[in-house]
Chains A and B, each alone.
Chain A
Amino acid sequence: MSTYFESYLTVGAFIVLGAVLVLVMLGVAAVLRPSRPQPAKEETYECGVDPVGTGWSQTYVRYFIFALLFLLFDVEAVFVFPWAIAAERLGVFGLVAIIIFTLTLVEGLVYAAKKGVLRWE
């Protein structure tokens, strides 16, 4: 078995352990805890008064433009990480390339800021 496979098998096992921990604990608790369902207990909690409308009410997500910017910069980070490891080997050429790459993206951020996208209206 290769080291690579072993590594990600470990990761997979840890992720499964997270789920197993919750399920086992809930299973044990199921033996101990009472279960007396009543209509009032299953009501949506709104500080004691009867809930108004549905829970999935319309919300204005103000920062959805931020999400687009986030995507841009997060993808940038993915590209910069490989350079970061080999920064010394790639020398000045790699450095200049990364600076140009980053500045192009920063220009986008500046443009967004100038357009007022980052202001909270």
Chain B
Amino acid sequence: MIADLLSNFWVALVAKLLLVALAIPLIGMVVGFGEMKLSAKMQARVGPYFAGGRWGWAQLLADGIKFFQKEDLIPRDADKPVFKFAPVVVMMGTVALFVVIPWGPGLIFRDLSVGIFYALAISSLTTVGVLMAGWSSANKYSLIGGLRAAGQMIAYELPLVFSALAVVIMAGTMSMQGIVEAQIEAGYPFVILQIVGFVIFVIASLAELSRIPFDLPIAESELVMGYLTEYSGFRFLFFFLAEFANMFSMSAIAVTLFLGGWYLPGIPADALEYLGPVILVVKSLILVFAMIWFRWAFPRVRQDQLQSLAWKWLIPISLANVILTGVFKVVL
């Protein structure tokens, strides 16, 4: 009965939209709460404690309700239409990225034939929203923050693309499900031969997400809050929701490309139908944990260090990696 209904394209589409509309706030809350609690542990604090009775699990729900009651302030000098539209653009990129994350065998919102290419393209949409926010706020801190975000995107998009390119050469397909299946067929996750690519991909995705050590666009100690300075209430919340959801989806893409996605050796094929999403989420959350860990392990880099790391090291290394992978694939 349900399977019949879901075979209709339109019914399935509505179901997918409802699912993702529920999943994104949920993922945002899980990652956000994890960040609060883990940061606290790493700094020998307790962190959220009272909300919800135990471990403060309802802290982010309480925050969300609080944000509902916050006045919506827009600075007088701001470019109002752009200012209002910026969080919308950020959320568009965040939601659209979920289309190509493979959750299990045959379990994907839409297996686009250009999957990974689409993911890399649509994830840059967030930066456009950030630049819009920085520009329209009519605030010096915001402007510098927005421009830094754009400069960072320019520098780190290339290592990201090239390290994904090496995986595409290995898999011979751009479809996300195809990449996972290629790893099952090969019998090993691509991280084994693409360890360089994996490290570069993680560094570059940290920079794309503007996480510490690459959090220059919102560097609190220099720029107040960067492009977020003038935002308040729900618009502010959407930038944060997008950041947490993007942390998860970038990790999920890294897992799919390098760590075998929803597959784990030793689990029978019919069990994967149900365990696939669990495996993917656990693997992704391990990467998310590493991102939170880095936040308290590394100091922020300087703007010139950020640019020279990308242009002098990551781009040449990732290009060499692409060529080597090509030689490996064609000659061997």
Interface residues in B170-202 (C-beta closer than 8 Å to A): 172-174
Q: How many A-B residue pairs have CB under 8 A?
A: 205
Q: Mostly helix, strand, loop or mixed at chain B's interface?
A: helix
**In the complex, which of the residues A18, A84, A92, A102 contacts B88, with contact meaning CB atoms closer than 8 Å?**
A18
* B270 interface contact, C-beta 8 A: no
- Using CB atoms, name the residue of chain B closest to A26: B234
B13 contacts A9, C-beta separation under 8 Å: yes
B112 adjacent to A13 (CB under 8 Å): no
**B327–A106 contact, CB under 8 A?**
no
| A1-52 residues at the B interface, CB under 8 angstroms | 1, 6-7, 9-11, 13-15, 17-19, 21-23, 25-26, 28-30, 32-36, 39, 41-47, 51
Residues of A contacting B234 with CB < 8 Å? 25-26, 29
How far does the alpha carbon of A118 sit from the alpha carbon of B138 in the complex, in Å?
30
Contacts of B109 in A (CB 8 A): 10, 14
A residues 70-114 with Cβ under 8 Å of B?
70, 73-74, 77, 80-81, 84-88, 90-92, 94-95, 98-99, 102, 106, 109, 113
Q: List the B side residues contacting A30 at CB < 8 Å.
A: 72
Q: From the candidates B70, B92, B311, name the one contacting A66 in the complex (CB within 8 A).
A: B311
**Closest 6 interchain pairs by CB?**
A55-B138, A120-B304, A18-B92, A18-B95, A42-B76, A18-B91
- Which chain B residues have a beta carbon within 8 Å of chain A's beta carbons? 9, 13, 16-17, 20-21, 24, 67-77, 87-88, 91-96, 98-99, 109-110, 112-113, 117-118, 135, 137-144, 147, 151, 154-155, 157-158, 161-162, 165, 168-169, 172-174, 224, 229-230, 233-235, 238, 303-304, 307-308, 311-312, 315-316, 319, 322-323, 326-327, 329-331
Supply 14 A–B pairs (Cβ within 8 Å), ascending by A: A6-B110, A7-B112, A10-B13, A10-B110, A14-B109, A29-B68, A45-B230, A55-B139, A70-B154, A73-B158, A77-B158, A80-B165, A81-B117, A109-B316
